[in-house]
Amino acid sequence: MPESFPRFNVSDRIEHWIQFVSFTVLAITGLVQKWPELGLTDTIINWLGGIETTRLIHHVAAAVLLLAVVYHVGTAGYRLYVLRQGKLMYPNMKDAWAAVHAVGYNLGLRQEPPKEGHFTFAEKAEYWSIIWGTTVMAVTGFMMWNPIATTALLPGQFIPAAKAAHGGEAILAVLAIIVWHVYHVHIRSFNRSMFSGSLSRHEMADEHRRELDLIEAGEVEAPLPPATVVEKRRKIFMPVYALIAIVLLGGVYLFLTFEQTAILTITPPEQVQIYQPAPTTTTTLP
Amino acid sequence: MSPIIIVGERFGERMNRRVGLILGLFIAGGALAAFGATPSAASQERSADLTAAVQAAVSSGTMIHPNVIATDNKTCFACHKGKRLTYELPSGESVSATIDEDKWLASEHGHQDMACIQCHTGISQYPHETGISTDLRSFVLNESKVCVRCHEEQATMVADSVHTKLLAEGNKNAATCSDCHDPHYAVNPPVSRTDVPATCRECHSAIYDLYEQSAHGEALTTGNPDVPTCTDCHGVHEIQGPDNSPFRLFSPEICASCHGDKDLMAKYGISTDVFNTYVSDFHGTTVLLFEKYAPDQQTDKPVCIDCHGVHDIIPPEDPRSSVFEGNLLATCQRCHPDADANFPTAWLGHYEPDPHKWPLVYYVTLFYKILIPTVIGAMLLFVLLDVVGRIRRRRQHA
């Protein structure tokens, strides 16, 4: 009987920690811009070296996050197309029932907790929230970063609307991480799988009962295709992804450099001769 | 008037002066000249105006020496009132040296019984010493150096002004005390609000012409005291110019001091949301943050005057206004040269989004106002149930 159950490979863990760093940096450098009057903003912006530096850091972190997205398109695509593991991630009715079941269990209406598979409903909810949130943030971020390009196609109002959505989504994301992620991964019990890559039997029994039962019965939730099929699909997937990645990276490059929104100098608001003695008077001592 | 007594200290120097004085008296035919300059033709007629004391002294050949006799204003006015007295400078320029005694007496300095020689300190004898000024502007600047003796507080403020900075850089056109405050006739309080622009106009007539046409200037020149005059924005003695970064950076606060005043703005039907809506937008947020963290640095983000104009501000409804709807694109393009027709509405024009004006912004904001508490509330509820469930099961177990 194995005592350790692999969960995240090295690539997954690197993705997670890149996400962690860029998300944290984006949240800090973004929220201080949303609430410039706050006392804490004072401390943070001072520490970061001013608002222009803060914005630069926000943009760099955004670029890192976008690169992580391009990479994730690859790892997710590989799992979906080559390994056919999609059913592990897609939400289904079992997840909805598991949520209802969990509530019932906590209220004392059920004797047993829900038996969940490789990813719990809580984990799937978080994953898809991040997909949604990152999409909203990237789209609205692009609009604010490139307002001239945006308003070439859309009404001007989309820019402040994008700003409202970017700020709202940011609060939603940060609160969701604090409430949902921190509770499920750190408070309820400290889940070390993003460090070690695996869960213990005890943790599996606690949170992934259905998967544990399957493994002990010699089965898996989403069986891997035969090695030959994997190899065949791999040969198709890799060049296709390379192409997609090039297009996406080009998109990221455009995102960052599409337009120069404003000139970098200050245009004098008024052109007037400052010293011009009044024509009707002569300068004499009274 | 209180007589001022100055006692000379260096007797030898005085003796030399006496020799010069005697020669001068002979050459000028007993006439007095102003400020010790070369006596002009006009000076010949002045002897009649001498006070009895002066006349007696001259006729008896006794030295008149202000250092040893009490010199009150009467002595000075003996020559310096009434007549067209001029003082010629080496540059060929001349200065009027005639003072209207009645106006002087009505002035603040006159009220204070100021003695002429308290300010005209270079004059201690007759004929007056040759001044150090070679031209008219230097003369004005030199004469103003004495003001600090009594007006230290104002002089300290002036020391920080753009005028002092320019003077220090060698620009002699920059204003000094007497350019704004006539030392002989100024009354206290110096001028009414409506007179301020006229004073500044002496040197800044091109700016005055713009101001006169603006909403503010038009109102002020017709006697409305509610509007800003030059000194309300630029300060009085510590006057700042547009190149000074704190002045530009903090200028929205200057505008807000009136445009955030609900009672004042209600009189004219102007919204007081202008400052808040500015600060909550990208440009205003940046300026606010610069004010906090880098008050001495310039930001390329616009302040009020960058869009609305500076001295020529007119209402946005006026087709000539830079923020009139039809002119907005051109105004945006000054900093955003590639901007297109839709671009200006990316700025909400100082309006708070509502369902009629800016519905998209309003509904997106509303969406998140509902979504955030709903999602986070549901999460909290779920987490709370889990916590409660765990505690209950642990108790049952125990």
Which stretch of A194-203, A229-238, B111-120, B217-226 has the lowest confidence by average pLDDT?
A: B111-120
Long-range contacts formed by B275-281: CB under 8 A, 24+ apart:
B277/B348, B277/B350, B277/B351, B277/B352, B278/B252, B278/B304, B278/B350, B279/A36, B279/B252, B281/A160, B281/B347, B281/B348
* Mean pLDDT, rounded, for B236-250: 86
The C-alpha atoms of residue B200 and residue B175 are separated, in whole angstroms, by 9
Handedness of CA B117, B122, B125, B131 (dihedral sign): negative
pLDDT of residue B15: 38
B266 — pLDDT class (breaks 50, 70, 90): very high
Nearest to residue A125, comparing CAs of B227, B378, B142?
A: B378
The mean pLDDT of A222-231, rounded to a whole number, is 95
Contacts of A48 (CB under 8 A, 6+ apart): A29, A54, A57
Return mean pLDDT, chain A: 93
Number of other residues whose CB lies within 10 A of the CB of residue A252: 18
CB burial of residue A165 (10 Å; 0-12, 13-18, 19+): buried
Q: How far, in Å, CA of A14 to CA of A16, rounded? A: 5
The 8-class DSSP code of residue B71 comes to: B
**Per-residue model confidence (pLDDT) at position B10:** 37
pLDDT at B396: 87
Residues 6+ apart with CB under 8 A from A254: none
**Which residues is A199 bridged to in the sheet?**
A5
Q: What percent of chain A has pLDDT over 90?
A: 86
Lowest mean pLDDT among B2-11, B304-313, B339-348: B2-11
Residue B397's Cβ-count burial label (10 Å; 0-12, 13-18, 19+) is exposed
- pLDDT band at residue B125, thresholds of 50, 70 and 90? confident
Convert the pLDDT of each residue in B22-65 to its tens digit: 333 333 333 333 333 333 333 333 333 334 544 454 445 443 44
Whether the CB-CB separation of A121 and A95 falls below 8 Å is answered with: yes
Closest alpha carbon within chain A to B198: A278
Based on its alpha-carbon atoms, the radius of gyration of chain B, rounded to whole angstroms, reads 34
Contact across the interface for B342 and A152, Cβ inside 8 Å:
yes
pLDDT value at position B123?
A: 80
Count of CB pairs separated by less than 8 Å, A with B: 195
Instruction: Choose among A165, A177, A179, A234: nearest CA to A22.
Output: A177
Q: Residue A77: enclosing H or E segment and its boundaries?
A: helix A51-77
Question: Torsion angle, CA of B84/B87/B90/B92, rounded to 10 degrees?
Answer: -20
CA dist., res. B257 & res. B264, Å (int): 10
What pLDDT is recorded for position A279? 80
CB contact set of A21 (below 8 Å; sequence gap of 6+) = A61, A64
Q: What is the pLDDT of residue B56?
A: 52
B148/B157 Cα distance (integer angstroms): 11
- Provide the whole-model pTM: 0.81
Weakest-pLDDT range from A199-213, B178-192, B243-257: B178-192
Extract the tokens encoding B217.
């200037």
* Separation of CA A171 from chain center: 13
Q: To 5 degrees, how large is the angle CA B235–CA B204–CA B209?
A: 105
Q: To the nearest whole number, what is the mean pLDDT of chain B?
A: 81
Higher per-residue pLDDT: A161 or B196 = A161
Please give the ipTM for the structure prediction. Answer: 0.92
Q: Cβ separation of B293 and A273 shorter than 8 Å? A: no
For B345, which of A155, A188, A263 is closest by C-beta distance?
A155
Is residue B376 less than 8 Å (CB to CB) from chain A? yes
Q: How far apart are CA A156 and CA A163, in angstroms?
A: 12
Residues B335-351 have a mean pLDDT of: 94
Task: Of A122-126, B132-136, B168-172, B347-351, give the lowest mean pLDDT range.
Answer: B132-136
| DSSP class of B318 | S
- The reported pLDDT for the residue numbered B244 is 78
pLDDT level of residue B208 (50, 70, 90 thresholds): very high
**pLDDT exceeds 90 at position B129:** no
CA separation for the pair B34, B74 (Å, rounded):
15
Three-class DSSP category at B376: helix
Mean pLDDT of the region B177-190: 85
Predicted local confidence at residue B132, as pLDDT: 79
* B1: DSSP letter: -
The amino acid sitting at B45 is E
Mean pLDDT for B179-201 is: 84
Least confident of A75-84, A198-207, B293-302, B326-335: B293-302
Closest of B371, B379, B394, B241 to residue B311, by C-alpha: B241
pLDDT above 90: residue B296: no
pLDDT at A76: 97
Q: What is the pLDDT of residue A51?
A: 92
Q: Model confidence at B321, in pLDDT bands (50, 70, 90)?
A: very high
Average pLDDT over residues B83-98: 86
Q: What is the mean pLDDT of residues B241-264?
A: 90
Report the DSSP beta bridge partners of residue B104.
Answer: none
Distance CA(B71)–CA(B103), nearest Å, equals: 21
Asked if B219 reaches chain A (Cβ–Cβ under 8 Å), the answer is no
C-beta atoms of A277 and B203 within 8 A: yes
Q: Quick one: average pLDDT of B229-249?
A: 87
Nearest chain A residue to B336 by CA distance is: A262
- Preceding amide of A225 cis, omega within 30: no
Q: How confident is the model at residue B359 (pLDDT cuts 50, 70, 90)?
A: very high
Confidence (pLDDT) at B63: 37
Phi, psi for residue A155 in degrees, rounded to 5: -60, 150
Measured between beta carbons, which residues in chain A are less than 8 angstroms from residue B334? 267
> Which residue has better confidence, A123 or A286?
A123
Please check the confidence at residue B13 and state whether its pLDDT lies above 70: no
What three-state secondary structure class fits B287? helix
Binding-face residues of B in 346-365 toward A, CB within 8 A = 346-348, 353, 358, 360-361, 364-365
Quick check: A201 and A212 in contact, CB under 8 A?
yes
B31: closest CA among B13, B50, B56, B51?
B50
pLDDT score of A97 more than 90: yes
Taking CB atoms and an 8 Å cutoff, what residues of chain A touch B102?
none
pLDDT digits (tens, 9 = 90+) for A17-50: 999 999 999 999 999 999 988 889 989 999 999 9
- B189 against B315, higher pLDDT: B315
Provide the CA B85 distance to its chain's centre, in angstroms.
Answer: 32
